[in-house]
Structure 1
Amino acid sequence: MTDTSVLGEDYQPISLIGLEFAFRIRIYFDERRKFEPTTPMGGRVYVPPLSGDISGPRLQGRVIPHSGGDWARGRSDNAAELNAHYMLEASDGTPIYINNRGFLYGRDDAGLPVKVANKTQENLAAGAETSWKIAPDTYFFCIPAFDAPVGPHDWLTRHVFIGRGRRVPSPDHTCFDYYIVDNA
């Protein structure tokens, strides 16, 4: 329920927001490279895409190998700031650029950020398969922006999307589910 005391008695929400599942990108990354020493703005990790595929009702295709990278930054508040740029290829051969920005962090019992590394060590101690077994309550969201030529995939350039990430330990990869934000 909306508190109208702040917004005024006549406040009515414009409309509810709906999410429509559009597609999933499964991406396998190459070797992670850490920049040392850390900069005043935090540590930085670079990892290029090795391969991947795209599946879903609105888009199918593949991730173009070594077409960019994820430039993640570890921040002092325990959040990892994600900024990935790479190329996709739709099943019809259309090239599509993606810039994925978001955040990744574990959460303590109060819901506050903790380093994912700390959470994954807890998971290892609890019997997880690998250190990349991220807890289900991990905050792993992104907002992608796309660039595509005029044609069957230019709809990507006219919508707002939200993505939810999930690490998968075996084999080591990341899945991103992308949703179109629209009216409910």
Structure 2
Amino acid sequence: MQHLPPPSLSFLCDMELTVEGAHLPGKTPIGNRRVIRVTGGALRGDHLNAEVIPGGDDWITVREDGTIIQDVRILLKTDDDALIMMTYRGIRTGTPEVLKRLDNNEDVDPDEYYFRTSPIFETASPKYDWLNRRVFVSKGIRLPGGVNYSIYTVE
């Protein structure tokens, strides 16, 4: 069996999202649920610059150990007016103490917790069609009132 070298990563963009307070449907058979409305934001990079159109959502499942599973859908409008749909699933986890600080909207060093996502882009724009055909990963940081991600293309 052939062992291949790991893929490399190249920087795509930084993304900042602003969000409103969580809606708390409560504990369901799936887990404790939170729904967070995305109110805006932006992506900035060498090949992708866009604003986040308000109205997307992050449907969160909180596991028994406090680990958060994200399911996010947002709509982007590039600086040249192309529309790009973006979805991502992610995971944020850490020690119970760190997760409690994050839930309390405290400023927590991102090295104290694990926060990664797998973005998928979809667009009809010929200029941005390359986004339809790549795999992406990101590293995130939770901030009071929002989140920031650095998104990378898997080469």
| TM-score normalised by structure 1 residue count | 0.77
| Unaligned segments of structure 2, at least 5 residues | none
Following TM superposition, by how much is the alpha carbon of 1:32 offset from its aligned partner in structure 2, in angstroms? 1.3
The 3-state SS of whatever aligns with 2:54 is coil
1:12 CA displacement: 4.9
Aligned-pair identity in percent equals 26
Alpha-carbon separation, structure 1, partners of 2:97 and 2:118: 21
Instruction: Name stretches of at least 5 consecutive residues in structure 1 with no aligned partner.
Output: 1-10, 108-113, 122-129
CA apart distance, 1:57: 1.2
SS of corresponding position for 1:78? coil
Residue 153 of structure 2 is matched in structure 1 by: 180
Residue 19 (str. 1) matches residue 1 (str. 2)? no
Residue 140 of structure 1 deviates from its aligned partner by 0.4
CA distance change for structure 1 residues 97 and 120 in 2, over 3 Å: closer, same or farther? closer
The amino acid of 2:63's aligned partner reads: R
**Cα root mean square deviation, aligned:** 1.9
In the TM superposition, what is the alpha-carbon distance from 1:119 to its structure 2 partner? 4.4
Secondary structure of 1:17's aligned partner: coil
Compute the TM-score of the two structures, normalised by the length of structure 2. 0.90
1:139 CA displacement = 0.6
1:134 alignment partner AA: V
Letter in 1 for 2:29: P
Moved over 3 A (4+): 114-117
* Number of residues of Structure 1 aligned to a counterpart in Structure 2: 154
Q: Which structure: greater strand fraction?
A: 2
Does residue 83 of the first structure (1) align with residue 71 of the second (2)? Answer: yes
Cα deviation 1:3-58 (Å, max 9, x = unaligned):
xxxxxxxx55323310000011111012211112x012111111111111110112
The separation in 2 between residues aligned to 1:87 and 1:32, in whole angstroms, is 19
Q: Is the 8 A contact 2:73 2:88 kept in 1?
A: yes
Please identify the structure whose Cα radius of gyration is greater: 1
Match of 2:117 in 1: 142
